[in-house]
Amino acid sequence: MMMLQKIETALAALQPEVLQVEDESHMHSRGQQSHFKVILVSDLFNGVRKVQRHQKVYATLGDLMQQFHALALHTYSPDEWQTVQNAPDSPTCQGGSLHDR
């Protein structure tokens, strides 16, 4: 199973109304399946601060977190998502990886 699918499967535990996982590795210099962007909308995020939302995601992913380099998280309650309807684009990689020589 590819890493993207593993992330989707794990995050299903958070009962998302919206779950989008994108492999953004092509934008970076660290190789395949290394950088991911997640948009997750869940009732579990109602009244929960951003830091706590991210902690829930990290805890849900558990050991998977050690198998890739970066995770851009965009977490919303359903009401917030109704307002924004879209997450910001990820910035272009500026390099700086240990693999850059």
The pLDDT of residue 95 is above 80 = no
Q: Which pLDDT tens digit goes with each residue over 2-39?
A: 988 999 999 999 999 999 998 877 665 556 667 788 99
pTM score of the predicted model: 0.81
Domains in the chain: boundaries: 3-83
Say which DSSP state 5 is in: H
- Measured between its terminal Cα atoms, the distance across the chain in Å is 31
On whether the 3-83 domain is CATH 3.30.300.90, my answer is yes
Q: Let me know: does 14 contact 42? Beta carbons within 8 Å.
A: yes
User: What residue type is assigned to position 90 of the chain?
Assistant: S
